[in-house]
Amino acid sequence: MTSLMLASEIVKRPVVTLAGEVVAQVKDIVFDGAEGCLTGFTLNGCGLFSGPLGHALPWSGVTALGSHAVVIRDETVFEQASVVTDRDRAGGGDVLGARLLTDVGTDLGKVIDVVIGVTMSTQPSARVVGCRITSTEALGHHQRPVFVPLPATMAVSDELLLVPAAASEFITEELPGFATALQGFRARLQEA
């Protein structure tokens, strides 16, 4: 089963070992923009005056990503931060603030959050499946936040995400209705 989470809700989530020890806090999410998959997390220490840690958590070290914590077996799964963040080189960096543009040149809006589909099974995965944008007049929701489904692969840079024009037909204003919109959008892409 896949659950949907906003990237902004994962940031600051505690990282907990299977022994119940809180060992870090999620600082940022690292993903491969071309493939749309989450590759890991940069970390902050725990406590009032803790800052960024020199190590990071690769996705392969995650046992569970729940609504309240990221669970790991133990701290041996951590890698050097530079190793985990270097995997981001194809991703184009931070997409927050980037424009969402259709392949026919319509500016849909500015990205304010990312929707992640998390599947915890024998092969756990976390993929970017959508984004939350502040919409433009082109969508008829001017300046209101809306959710837009994304294709499995797309062009991504620091300034721009390029999506098929059909994405604008599957926009929702609430996250609970987003799963249905995403399914319809992906089905439409397969028909084309």
Question: Where along the chain do its domains lie?
Answer: 2-90, 99-191
Cα four-point dihedral sign 83, 121, 118, 188: positive
Please report which confidence band the pLDDT of residue 93 belongs to, taking 50, 70 and 90 as the band edges. Answer: low
Give 119-148 pLDDT, tens digit per residue.
877 777 889 999 999 988 888 767 789 999
**In the block, which residue shows the tokens 């797309």?**
154
Helix (H) or strand (E) holding 9: helix 7-10
* pLDDT tens-place string over residues 54-80: 889 999 999 999 889 999 999 999 998
Q: Does the pLDDT at position 87 exceed 60?
A: no
CATH superfamily assigned to domain 2-90:
PRC-barrel domain (2.30.30.240)
Q: Is 84 in contact with 28 (CB distance < 8 Å)?
A: no
Asked whether the predicted pLDDT for residue 155 surpasses 50, the reply is yes
Q: How far apart are CA 10 and CA 48, in angstroms?
A: 19
Give the whole-angstrom CA distance, residue 172 versus residue 150: 13
**In 62-106, at which residue ranges do the beta strands (DSSP E only) sit?**
62-65, 70-72, 79-80, 99-102
Percent of the chain with pLDDT over 90: 56
175-183 mean pLDDT: 93
How high does pLDDT run on average in the chain?
A: 87
Report the distance separating Cα 106 and Cα 162, nearest Å: 10
Instruction: Give the separation between CA 65 and CA 72, rounded to whole angstroms.
Output: 9
Can you name the residues that pair with 151 across neighbouring β-strands?
none
Q: What is the pTM of this model?
A: 0.86
